[in-house]
Amino acid sequence: MSASEPDTLRHTVPVFPLATVVLFPGADCPLHIFEPRYRQMTVAAQAGDGRIGMVTVRPEHAGDLSGDPPVFPVGCMGQILHCKELDDGRLNIVLHGTTRFRIADEPARGAEQLFRTAVVEELAEAPSDPADVTRGRERVSEVFGRLVEAVAPERAEQIGPHRIADVDDATFLSILVQVLNLPPVERQTLLETNGVGDRFDALESILRFQLAQAGLGNREGPGRVH
């Protein structure tokens, strides 16, 4: 971080590394907390400002979750909206994604602290041309609608883009990504893409590839996974 950037953009937060969850700004994520270290993490977050940094474990280390596996450096801040403690001490929480961040440092923790913390720097979105964003949203909506009709027509009314037509562009994109059953690496790539316009372009490419796999993206038949 340069000296000209305000200190308020840097925070020390508990981080929650998972192999399959990628949180996006504007989206909500329900989580079931049962491990002692993450129960301790949730209690600590609630005692503070209620924020948890969600990060994704690198896929080659997805089997090492019992330790401190390497994670992607870009994550998303989650604000605890709801927390319900069950009779056996487990917790059900709902996180609301707020801002993207980059991990700047992961300090050593004391013996009594079971969970990881990190010093993170908030990432501002790169500016996008409004006309490009509008066109990107229209293209993504059209392709997503075609994909839903192709692979899950019975769910078209429940998950079609028209269901979230009244939200802002960034939230619209985030909710679509949450709905799609994309591999974690693809979701992570979208999270790291800077700028709403570029993120719409990246999501459109992913959706068109899925259409091709379904045999609807071109005249040459189903696409292949290489």
129-178 confidence digits (pLDDT tens): 999 999 999 999 999 888 888 877 887 777 777 778 889 999 999 888 88
209/222 Cα distance (integer angstroms): 10
Maximal CA-CA distance, the chain:
61
Amino acid type, 83: C
146/135 Cα distance (integer angstroms): 17
133/131 Cα distance (integer angstroms): 5
pTM: 0.85
49-61 confidence digits (pLDDT tens): 999 999 999 999 9
141/138 Cα distance (integer angstroms): 5
**Contact residues for 210 (Cβ-Cβ < 8 A; gap 6+):** 147
